[in-house]
Every structure is written in C-alpha cells, then in structure tokens.
Amino acid sequence: MIINKYNGCFKGEMTVPGDKSISHRSIMFGSLAEGETNVKNFLMGEDCLSTIGCFRDMGVEIEVSGTDVKIKGVGFKGLKKPEKTLDAGNSGTTIRILSGLLACQNFESRIDGDESLRKRPMSRVADPLNDMGADMECTNGKYPPVTIRPVEKIKAYRYVQPTASAQVKSCLLMAGMYGEGTVEIVQPEISRDHTERMMKYFGIPIEVEGKTVRIQKADVFKGKDIMVPGDISSAAFYMVAACIAKGSEILIRDVGLNPTRTGIIDVLLQMGGDIEIENERLENEEPIGDIRIKGSDLKGIEINGDIIPRIIDEIPIISLAAVFAEGTTVISDAEELKVKETDRIAAVCDELSKMGAKITPKDDGMVIEGTSKLSGAAVKTYGDHRMGMMLALAGGFADGDTEIDDIECIAVSNPDFFKILDTVKQI
C-alpha cells in the first residue's frame, strides 16, 4: 500500500471499535455462564474472531450480527472436547488465557496459532499452571502448539509474577475458578484488570488488594449483558495523529478509560499534549468517557517504571509522537515488547530509521531524538497490526510516498482503521 503525505489536519468526531481485551473476555465468560450473554460493540477484529472460533469448537453456540454477539452459555462445566486443534490465530491473549481454562477441563485439547504466535513464549503460563497441578506441554518446552491433558485437581497456589502480564494473571485466574483452594497472584506492577472486573460483574469470587489478586473456586454464574467500550489502544493512534498535526481537534466518543489502560493519556499530557476527558461514566464495571484532543507542541520525556504495563501496546505509536516532539524521549523497562507479534523494539527502530528518524534501540526500549521530519520509504510491518497502523500514520506525516509491504494485518485489532481516519482527515 502507498501512503501519501497528509496536507491538512484532523477535525471532527469519531468512535473506535470495541476494546479487544474486553471483547475476548466477554466470549470466555459468556460461554462459561448459564443462559444467554448479549454483547454490544464487540470488536470484529481477527483476534476476537479467533476466540469466538475456539469456543464454537468447544460446543458453544455464538451468533454474530453486526457488532452484536449472542452467546448461549454452556455453564461452568459444559465445554465439549474440540474435534480438532483449536486455532488462536495471531492472538496471544486467546492462547494464553484459554490455556488456564483448558487445564481444568475433563478432556485433552491442543491449541495452536499462526507463524507469529508460534514464536511467542508459552512457558510463562505453562510453568505456573503445571505447578498448580496442570498437565500442559509446549513445543520445544516453550512454544505453541501446546497440548493440555486433564488432571484430577488444581491446587491452591500463590504466584509472584516476575513480569507484569494480564494474560498470565488471567490464565491463572481462569484455573483458580476450578481449583481446590485459593489461588493468589502477586503482581510486580498492576497490569490491565479487565478479567478481575468482569469476574466481579458475573459474581465470581474475586478479591483485589493492591497488587494482589485472589480467587476461590467459583460456583455457577448467570449470563449478563455486556457493553464493550471503545478500545483506547485503537484510539491512541488517532490521538497521536491529532496531537502531531497542528490545528487538529478531534473528539473520540465512548472510549474505555480503565486506569490500567490510560497510560497513553498520561504520556501525551506529559509531552505537552492538549487532552481533555468529558462525559465520564461506568458501564458494566468499566469506566468509559469521551476524549478531546487538540494539536499541540510536544516535547520529549522519559518513560519507564510502572507506567509501562499501562502503555504496553501503545509504545509503537508513542515512538512516532516522540519523532515529532522537541528534544529526546527515552523509553526503558519495556523488554516485553520483544515478545509481542514481532520484536517491537527492533521493528519500530528499523522501520522508522528507514524513514530518517533518529531512533536507537536499547535492550529495554529505545531512545528517540525528535526531529519533526520523516521521509517516505519502503517499510515493513512484520505482520504486526500495531506496526501497520503506526507506519501508516508515519507515512502520512512524511515527505514523499511511503510504501507499506503488508497492511492487511491491521484487521487484527482495527479493520476500519483507514475508514475512521478518513472521517476526520481535512485536506
């Protein structure tokens, strides 16, 4: 795909598709509930469709109409043995959280994914699950496909997480629902807490105390209606575009504002961004509101420590904001980027460098010297949706044309990325 330089700014209102993390979890808990769960504003992105596929393969009836999803819950113990290997596609969230659930079923299962997923570590869930008494086997000790066999029982367990990860936490919470005693997870920093909130919403016995989360064996729970807020990780791309382009003013309505996800707002404010939150409210235990962003002069900052889990998926687009900021931005403590859909430290640095950015990788992040200038180049997404969307915007701000090798990957989290951008683009 060829991207031409944008000549104007961004003005107007938009909504973004439903939150990916919450959409995944709505299928998981809706399937395990008794009776119907109706989900509105579900993200019809490929990752969430993979989760739907996995539950359908385990006998759950799931009807999709537009962005509405009706799940006919089979109950806590009602999943059926899949006839084939479950396919998590490109989705780390699907394969990791599902592993915790599959570990507690009375049937053997196998779950696999695409070429990118097959390179992502599964030992981070297999090791603690096996310590709890599960029987999970990874390929070459570490990777998908994984095989999970039934066991007699899942034991009480306390796990101190070496790295903040909502996928690992959620996986263990899933297993904890079926366990014989308390499962306690201690987080180094608080990662996104959508699982905890959704468990509370469904009446599952979960307890949160600071960085510690505890779960007891769950009982039957009933289906509920779920309204999925807009995905702040998708909104982040438009927020940065509006910050960079002078004269812009956009309003993004109905975005999830869960404090474990709003690091992008904090980072942009600290960089000098002009951002206001309006119309804040709570929908099924999740905060939601509207975000107003105006074009502004950005400055470089240091980004590290406990904000990292709150911006983990936003770092590629924050890197682009840093290119258009005055001064240097240093991102540290972000080693986790190396095990996403691609190594996002290397990919961001290599591709933005091709466009003339002054960006240097380091072991746990990158250093970006703001130059406010990019030149069109031939760049690669590595099949990573967040790289695709970041490079598309980088191309719009670059002099000359930018050629992106594979833009299809953006369908993983925002199939309407360009359509939404066009609604606010001023020429």
Ligand X SMILES: C=C(OP(=O)(O)O)C(=O)O
Ligand Y SMILES: O=C(O)C1=C[C@@H](OP(=O)(O)O)[C@@H](O)[C@H](O)C1
Cβ of residue 109: shortest distance to ligand Y, in angstroms?
Answer: 20
Phi-psi region of 322 (alpha: psi -120 to 50; beta: other; left: phi over 0): alpha
Could you tell me which stretch among 88-96, 272-280, 346-354, 388-396 binds ligand X (CB under 6 A)? 88-96
For residue 426, give the 3-state DSSP assignment.
Answer: coil
92 is in an annotated binding site: yes
The token pair at 361 is 């990788």
- Binding partner of residue 21 among ligand Y, ligand X, none, CB cut-off 5 to 8 Å per kind: ligand Y
Query: Which residues are CB-contacts of 210 (< 8 A; sequence separation ≥ 6)?
Result: none
Cβ of residue 120: shortest distance to ligand Y, in angstroms?
Answer: 9
Site string for ligand X, 111-140 (x = CB under 6 A): ------------------------------
Interface with ligand X (CB under 6 A), residue from 82, 92, 376, 383? 92
What is the rounded distance in angstroms from the CA atom of residue 133 to the CA atom of residue 178? 12
Q: Between β-strands 402-404 and 2-3, what pairing exists: parallel, antiparallel or unpaired?
A: antiparallel
**Smallest Cα–Cα separation from 60: which of 35, 85, 39?**
35
Cβ of residue 181: shortest distance to ligand X, in angstroms?
Answer: 29
Active-site residue identified among 274, 313, 384, 401? 313
Continuous segment of H or E residues that includes residue 74: strand 68-74
Query: Which residues are CB-contacts of 299 (< 8 A; sequence separation ≥ 6)?
Result: 271, 272, 325, 326, 327, 370
Task: Verify binding: residue 260, ligand X, rule CB under 6 A.
Answer: no
21 is in an annotated binding site: yes
340 is in an annotated binding site: yes
Active-site residue flag, 364: no
Cβ of residue 296: shortest distance to ligand X, in angstroms?
Answer: 26
- Binding partner of residue 413 among ligand X, ligand Y, none, CB cut-off 5 to 8 Å per kind: ligand X
Task: Verify binding: residue 231, ligand X, rule CB under 6 A.
Answer: no
Q: Which is nearer to ligand Y, 254 or 341 (CB)?
A: 341
313 is in an annotated binding site: yes
What is the rounded distance in angstroms from the CA atom of residue 147 to the CA atom of residue 251? 46
292 is in an annotated binding site: no
Task: Verify binding: residue 290, ligand X, rule CB under 6 A.
Answer: no
Query: Which residues are CB-contacts of 127 (< 8 A; sequence separation ≥ 6)?
Result: none
Active site residues: 313
* Contact footprint for ligand X (CB under 6 A): 47, 91-93, 313, 340-341, 386, 413
